[in-house]
Structure 1
Amino acid sequence: MRMLSKHLPSTRALQCFLAVARELNFRRAAEMLNMSQPPLSRQIQGLEEMLRVRLIERDTQRVSLTPAGLAFKEQAAAILLALDGAVGAARENADDGSVRMGLTSVINHSLMPALHALVADAAFTGGRALERAWSRQLVERVSSGALDLAIVGDIVAPGADLAMQALGCEPMILALPATHAAAASEQVELADVSDLPLFWFARADNPAFYDKCERAFRRLGYAAPRRPEPKDFTLLLAAVAAGEGVALCPQSMRATSRLGVAYRALPPAVARMLSIEVQVVARAHETRAPVLDKIARIRATLGR
């Protein structure tokens, strides 16, 4: 029997290669994998160095596969598909019926009655709290098998190993200094606060939602200067209260009050343009009945 090599590529390296091989574009491949381009390029470079074969030709004009890359693409896809089947078979034979679930920390579920009731139902959660994290992190954990499903916000469409289903939308509102003149109105146009910077996240954190909002900003003629958005929401509110800028946040986050911060509605059309799509993500070829039952329950409770 042939012995396996001690030096085999990681599944992450194979996923990175296949994303580039399918897209023939490093930027789109990176977005599909919810990562930035430099680590993606390093994965490809490391894979080629391990194999001692050039798989991808890349210049300023285009990306293409070498003959070795074309052959490797077919085999790498088969390997990941077989591995996915092996993981599924192992889980089915060792499954205790529990389902590991995640919930995006971008939304405050306590202000969404249907979602709050669902995650507070011990019969649904199995008595375990849902893992809370940024949507991008949850998608990565579902992809790696650390979670079985997650309820997430707007995020770039995942690769072929994951499937997403839309549940509904969470409108955006404006957080501004309570001392600002616009705070006297119940509804505020973005133009009314263009004298202050906008606290904004990096595109690499969520390319899909970032691009969606940028298109809306251009359409609205909103071009306020940007400041890096603190990762911690309480720090963000503290900066807004200090008059350092304004922030856009999901409507449900207004439950987090802060002295010196005023939450104001945006015009309905603007709120819709900037709304966060709430979705459930799971493995594309999921067959386990407990996981499928949870997804069906989520869709029945939260679906449009």
Structure 2
Amino acid sequence: MLDIVRPLLALQEHTLAALSQLSAPAQQLLRLGLTTAFEQGVFAAAESALGEQTGALHITRQSSPALARLVRKGKLDAALVALPLNTEGLHLHPLSYQEPLIAALPASWPEAATADLALSALNHRPLFWFRRERNPDFFDYTRRIFDRAGYSPAYVEEPAEHDVLLARIARGEGMILLPASFSAIQRQGVVFCSLRDASQQLPLRLGVVTMPANEGLRERVIAALEKSLP
């Protein structure tokens, strides 16, 4: 008799376990975009916090304009983007987090040994930078800052790959302005220099974009980010 009952009991336990899983609330996938304008280690704690909150987190890392397009198309639920940015059709919530820009210079340049470097001291040096059509709002924002600082760089198109960019800087081909968090990435032949009054004149700010209707999701994401960002 027991030989007959045991398989039936095992089947019953398996069935109950399966039904329990079906009745449990499904994990809500959060599709989150992270801008590559900041060094990605900045977002580590935020990724962990949002992963615990949602139980299912999918990360996309791209440029801020590309992330904004993906949110508009419904392919992302939310994205952390560098500001300023064209956010037409989206809800933008600026976050308190920001970083000053610093200069990444070839170690062979004499300016690399200068403390509290002024932008105007680099007027004769080539600057790796992006084309205006890639992000008009941010390009124009930096141009206004450059004008106020008396800085007139000779623009050179920025390589798409970060390692290629740093290699060209190390060879003395030019410089770039980056958020301060990128100084964590060391490269032989490249020196990261702070800029005079950069926290006031050259801040790179962070914001969250979502579709306007996603109010509940937006509030949850913003609350987690404000607690977990540095």
Question: TM-score normalised by the shorter chain: which range applies?
Answer: 0.7 to 0.9
Q: Which amino acid aligns with 2:203?
A: S
Provide the secondary structure at the position in 2 that maps to 1:130.
strand
Unpaired runs of at least 5, structure 1: 1-94
Q: Aligned partners of 2:218 and 2:207: how far apart in 1? A: 15
In structure 2, what is the equivalent of residue 284 of structure 1? 212
Q: Aligned partners of 1:105 and 1:282: how far apart in 2? A: 18
From 182, 205, 224, the counterpart of 2:111: 182
Unpaired runs of at least 5, structure 2: 1-25
Q: Aligned partners of 1:134 and 1:244: how far apart in 2? A: 24
Provide, for residues 113-166 of structure 1, a one-character-per-residue CA deviation record: whole Å limited to 9, x for no partner: xx421213430463535211101111000010000001110143322x311011
Give TM-score, length-normalised by structure 1.
0.62
Aligned residues: 203
In structure 2, what is the equivalent of residue 116 of structure 1? 44
Provide, for residues 220-251 of structure 1, a one-character-per-residue CA deviation record: whole Å limited to 9, x for no partner: 11112110011111111111111111110111
In structure 1, what is the equivalent of residue 35 of structure 2? 104
Provide, for residues 171-193 of structure 1, a one-character-per-residue CA deviation record: whole Å limited to 9, x for no partner: 10000010111111232112222
Provide the secondary structure at the position in 2 that maps to 1:215.
helix
Relative distance call for 1:125 and 1:170 in structure 2 (3 A) is: farther
Larger radius of gyration: 2
Q: Aligned partners of 1:249 and 1:236: how far apart in 2? A: 12
Q: Which amino acid aligns with 1:238?
A: A
Does structure 1 residue 136 correspond to structure 2 residue 56? no
Q: Deviation at 1:252? A: 0.8
Give TM-score, length-normalised by structure 2.
0.80
From 295, 300, 303, the counterpart of 2:222: 295
Over the residues paired in the alignment, what is the CA RMSD in angstroms? Answer: 2.0
Q: Identity, % of aligned pairs?
A: 33
1:255-294 correspondence runs (5 A): 255-268=184-197, 270-287=198-215, 289-294=216-221
In structure 2, what is the equivalent of residue 254 of structure 1? 183
Provide the secondary structure at the position in 2 that maps to 1:147.
coil
In structure 1, what is the equivalent of residue 94 of structure 2? 166
| 1:196–1:244 CA contact under 8 A, matched in 2 | no
| 1:174–1:247 CA contact under 8 A, matched in 2 | yes
In structure 2, what is the equivalent of residue 211 of structure 1? 140
Greater RCO, CA 8 A, separation 6+: 2
Specify which structure has the higher proportion of strand.
2
Provide, for residues 178-220 of structure 1, a one-character-per-residue CA deviation record: whole Å limited to 9, x for no partner: 0111111232112222221111111111111111110111111
Provide the secondary structure at the position in 1 that maps to 2:104.
strand
